[in-house]
Every structure is written in structure tokens, then in C-alpha cells.
Chain A
Amino acid sequence: MAFNEEFVAEPAGDVVLSIRDLHVKFRLRGQALHAIRGVSLEVRRRETLAIVGESGAGKSALVKNLCGLLDPNGWIDGGSIMYEGMDLAAFKSERDWSRVRGKHIAMVTQDPMASLNPLKTVGWQIEEALKYNQRLRGADARRRALELLADVGIPDTRRRSRQYPHEFSGGMRQRVVIAIALACSPRILICDEPTTALDVTIQAQILRLINDLKGKYGLTLVYITHDLGVVANVADRVAVMYAGDIVELGLCEEVFFDPRHPYTWALLSSLPQLGVRKQELRAIQGTPPNLFQPIRGDAFAPRNPWALEIDFQHRPPYGEVSPTHKARTWLLDPRAPAVEPPPAARSIRALFERGAFAEYPQGGKR
């Protein structure tokens, strides 16, 4: 396909998008909520980057800045987002954003039931994306729309393209949303929890589909999820977010097999796949911090059984484990006492080798 060539020609692994020390705040009931507290992150060409964390960690708030979808009560309070020489953090108007939306950065949203216009046919909605991003109109657009529908695994495309969203099931709608995103022919595709609203069997299909399309269309994927099973299956690199900050970042294997931040330990220990029959599943104690108040020290310290005294005083810097792996914890400081990660977090590798994630999400049923 013609529009794929440019991707194929470019080497994988270059930095395409780089976020530097980003701060995002929201005004809620007269108070400022510090949702993103100095995040730096690079997205590399044709990688799959997964951003994980519990609800409210700031995953969505972070990626919404990449396509100008920040809610009106939110604003960028410092930092930069560089993409192709443009600073997305400085974009103000819809006009600015129209330069990157679609063709450069597209998004698959969370809820397929709500993300399609109920009064337009599915074909029309794909053709609209083609019109603005690939200048295709009329019969050309129609033909391409049918191809895209076939690409995302929708049978009987001619008839289906004339139907309205309410005539599609949830999984089928998510396929349509993906087809719309592909119609933009984006370089970076953001998938904001693309499978949370779907049932388990459909989830696996959609994940496989996105993965296949990534190869076919040369996409760079940014996945947001709170499902570590999804991450294990699809991600090249993983960023773990907690309280508006990236606490650990590394290659998928590094974060899963050699986690360094106590929050990552806790997160991994609470994987349901680690559960033992007839025993209560492990959960992280306490609740995330209140981001209306300034955070002192490490945001995870109050819930962290391994917290050091300094964790309550000073925010830890990133400690480098390998050139690709870093974690924001004092435990990596040379002066810190040696702390062993909990046994559950260390048993992830064994879990992998047993194939617990291989057929995810069915794996969870054992």
C-alpha cells in the first residue's frame, strides 16, 4: 500500500515524540489538582509503549495532551511535548491541533458504544476520516472504506458500511473505531484502554487485531491500560504511572522480571494470575494520594511497606538499572539498604514460563 512506504523506509527505534517534564493541572471546585507531576517520556518509532497504572494515576490525562483532548478545565502547567519540531504543549487553538490530529496522531477511545456518531452510517464515518486525512472522496473513499472494514475483520463490508452504529455489537464497533483511526493513516496510534468496555473473549480478538494492524500499517502504538495481562502480551516497553508520575520505565521483560519500584512490586503482586486457590487475592493497601495537596517525598511512601525515612522527605530521583530501565525510588541509591522484592513479584518469570499470559485473557480462568 502506497501510504505505508514512508514508514517502512524509516528506521525503527528513533524517537518520534518526546515529552519533557510535563505538568498538567485541573481546576475542580475552585481547587487545582496536579494530575501530571513532571512526566518525561519518549515514544520510539514503531514500538508499542504501554502506560499502566491504577485508575486516577493520570494515564489518560497524559495522552490526552498528545491530541488536544484535555478537558476544558485542565491546562498544561509547564514542560514540552516535541513532535516533528512542533511543541504540542504550546498548542492553543483547534487550528494548531488540526496539524497533527489524524494524519500524525490518532486515537482509539475507551468506549466503543459511545465513540461513534449514532446518526451516521459506519461507512460515512470512515469516509469522513479519509476525506480529511487522505483527500479521498466519492467512489475512491468508498472503496478504501470497504478495504479498511475488511482489514479490521468485519465481514460483508458492503452491507455493513451502510448500517448505523446501533446495528453493531460492542466488539464490532471497536473494530469500526479502529478502522476510522486507520483511515487517518496515523504515525502514532494511541489506544486508550481499547478493551476495557468489552467482554473477555472479544478483548483478546481486538488485541490481536491491533497487533496485526501495527505490522501492516507500520504504526507506533501507545497503549493505556490498567491490565498487566494486556501489557505482557503486546508491549515492547512499559511505563508504570502512579499519582501523576512515571515511577518505573523499561523494556517489558525488565519491568516484569526485574521490577525495582515498590509500587511495581505491589502492582505485580496483585496480579490475579498469581492468586492461589481458596486464598484471598492480594491487593495494594490504602488509597492513592490526594493530588489537590502538594506531594512531599515519594507519592507511594504512605502505602509502601518498604518505605525509607527519606521517602517521606524528598522526592526520589530516577535510578538507572540499565540504559533502558529506570525507576524513581530511593532504593536504587547506593546509600539505601538492600531490599529484596516480595516473592510474588519475583515469581512473574515463572508465571511467564508456565504460559500464564500466553493465551491471555483466557489464562486468567485457570
Chain B
Amino acid sequence: MLLYIAKRLGRAFVSLCLIIIVVFVLLRQMPIEGYFASFDKMTPIQVENGLRKLGLLDPLPAQLLNFFGQLARGNLGISTRYRQNYPISRIIAQKAPFSLRFGLIAVGISIPLGLGLGVLMARRKGGAWDRMGTVYIVFMQAVPSAIYYLFLQLYGTQALNISLLYNPDKWQTMVLPVISLAMPSVAYFAMWMRRYTVDEANKEYIKLARVKGVPAMAVWFRHVFRNAVVPIVQLIPNSLLLTLAGSIYVESLYSIPGMGGLMVDVIKRQDNTMVQALVIIFAVLTIVGLLLGDLAMALVDPRISLAKRTEAR
């Protein structure tokens, strides 16, 4: 088990380094005005001095090495245009709690809702729940989120009689952004839960459980549901990522002072170092999420021991 965790951690670390290299190299191709607050008023000599000071005229491998050293010290760099000469890590420390709160609440409510919907759909295949659920899932998958986010904001705020934007002092204004973030996740969980439940319910061991006299409800909970939830564990980090992606748009829509809105902001303002820092942060979250999913799977499924195999055939 420990060996498996070590291996998996090692792999996660390697992919993280690769992503950092790619992001770094790509962002060096961005226009250089992204490194200066008032590029328009600068003379070419000033620009060159500035670039030299930032170390951007060094050969690329040297820059990359510097950057890794900087990251190892926990330094994400200095903002140039978004908030001049302000450490990026400080900006993020102010913003992250908002995103975290919205994201966790959204995932927290979408798990029970999604699993519940999935099971309802699976219990009677082709029934009313199944058909309604399928419509919902297809809608979520097919329609760009921007459309229903906008509708939800427009009609939702009207119906609840609250302001269009997020106000930290009024909890009511949290409802609509959380619903927006949860909606695709509910569809995602429902889709997989339905599928896994149907899969498990048709398995041979369910027949044996029934024929050995276990009551129907016990078969349903202890065998079908219990086993169908196992692969779902792996999807939870993934759904966090889904809400993360959603938050980029939802946060700017409701002007929530979080990380997602920040991303849109800094791209618009061409703050190169900040874009770089944020992309790397999102990448780290993704990799950590996938890692946690795999580790959680290994915990709940005895078949994943990977270190040693005791199959005796």
C-alpha cells in the first residue's frame, strides 16, 4: 500500500513538473507588455532594462531553473499589472477562501443530489425519473454553461428579489452561484451513479445474494448501492475540478472576489506573471485531485493493493 502511494506520488510530481515547464515556456511567448504596468510610456531602453532586471533576457533553460527555485521557496512571483509590485501569493491568500467556500458547498450538495438522482434513475430504467434525469443530464452536457448561468442569474435574482451581484453580508446572494456551480456536478454524479448502479444490479453476485435469502432492500443497500458508490469516490476530486472550471465564469458573473474571477481578470489585463501563477495553481489542484481520487479508490476497493498480488490460480 505504501509503495503504491509512493509510486503514485512520484508520478504526480513528474506530471506537475512537466506542466510547469509547458506553462512557463508558453507564457514566454506572450507579448512583453504584459510585464510592465505602463508599457506605452516607456522607451525601448527602459523596456530592455526592465526585462533584464526580471531576468527575462537570460537563456530559457536558465530562466526555467530560476523559476523552479523560486517556486520551491513558495514564491509565485510579483504581479505587474493587476496590482503593481504586489506578491501574487498574498493576492491569492485573500481570494482563495471565497472560491473554496463556494466550491466545497457546491460539491457538498451535488454529491447527495447526484447520487440520489442516479439511483432513482437506475431503480426503474425507462421510468419517469430515468427520463427526466436523462433530459437534465443531456441538457447539462449539451448546452454551454454560459447560457443557463445567465438565465439563472437574471430570473433567479428577480424571483428571489435580491441583487444581481454577490454581497458577502447577505447569505441569500450565495444561493444562486452555488446552484450554478452544483448543476453540472449533479448531472455528472447522476450520470455515473446511474450507470454504476445498473452495472452492479445486473451482476451475477446480486443473483446469488438474492437466492441466498437476503431481503430485497438489504441486497439493494449492502450490495448494489455500496458497490456502485465505490467508483464514484474517484469522481469526487474530478467534480471539484468541474466546479473550479465553472467558478471561472460564475465568479465573474456574480463578481465574487474569488480565484476564478481573478483568472479572467488577469488574462484581460495581460498580467503575464499572474496568469502563469494561476494556471500553475489550477494545474496543481487538478493533479492533487486526481491523486486523491486514486488514493481514495485504493482505500475503499480491496482489489487495488497493487504492491503485491496473491492470486493463486
Interface on A for B, CB 8 Å cutoff? 67-69, 94-95, 97-98, 101-103, 105-107, 109-111, 114-119, 128-129, 132-133, 164, 166-170, 172, 177, 180-181, 183-184
Contacts of B59 in A (CB 8 A): none
| Residue picked from B204, B215, B216, B311, most chain A C-beta under 10 Å | B204
B205 touches which of A117, A129, A170 (Cβ 8 Å): A117
Residue of B nearest to A163 (CB): B310
A98 contacts B213, C-beta separation under 8 Å: yes
Q: Across the interface, do A106 and B302 meet the contact criterion of CB distance under 8 Å?
A: no
Q: Which residues from B are CB-within-8-Å of A115? A: 204-205, 207-208
The distance from the CB of B227 to the nearest CB of chain A, in whole angstroms, is: 5
Query: Are B303's CB and A164's CB within 8 A?
Result: yes
A-B contact pairs, 7 of them (CB 8 A): A67-B211, A102-B212, A102-B214, A109-B207, A167-B311, A172-B312, A177-B208
Q: What distance in Å separates the Cβ of B305 from its nearest Cβ neighbour in chain A?
A: 9
Asked if B11 is at the interface (CB within 8 A of a chain A CB), the reply is no
Contacts of B303 in A (CB 8 A): 118-119, 164, 166
Closest-CB distance, B233 to chain A (whole angstroms): 12
Query: Which residues of chain B from 130 to 161 have a CB within 8 Å of any chain A CB?
Result: none
How many Å lie between the Cα of A119 and that of B211 in the bound state? Answer: 19
Total A-B pairs in contact (CB under 8 Å)? 92
Smallest Cβ-Cβ distance to A169: which chain B residue: B313
Which residues of B, 259-313, contact A by the 8 Å Cβ criterion?
A: 300-303, 310-313
Residues in B whose Cβ lies below 8 Å from that of A117: 205, 209, 223, 227
* Residue of B211, B215, B230, B302 with most partner-chain A CB within 10 A: B211
From residue B196, how far is it (CB to closest CB) to chain A in Å? 12
| 5 smallest beta-carbon distances between A and B, as pairs | A102-B213, A114-B204, A94-B216, A169-B313, A129-B212
Q: Give B216's nearest chain A residue, CB to CB.
A: A94
- A69 in contact with B210 (CB, 8 Å): yes
Selected from B213, B310, B313, the residue in CB contact (under 8 A) with A101 is: B213
Q: Which residues of B contact A110 (CB under 8 A)?
A: 204
CB-defined contacts of B215 to chain A, threshold 8 Å = 94, 98, 132
B122 CB to closest chain A CB (Å) equals: 14
Q: From residue B79, how far is it (CB to closest CB) to chain A in Å?
A: 50
Cα separation A169 to B208 with both chains bound (whole Å): 18
The answer to the question of B226 belonging to the interface, with a C-beta cut-off of 8 Å to chain A, is yes
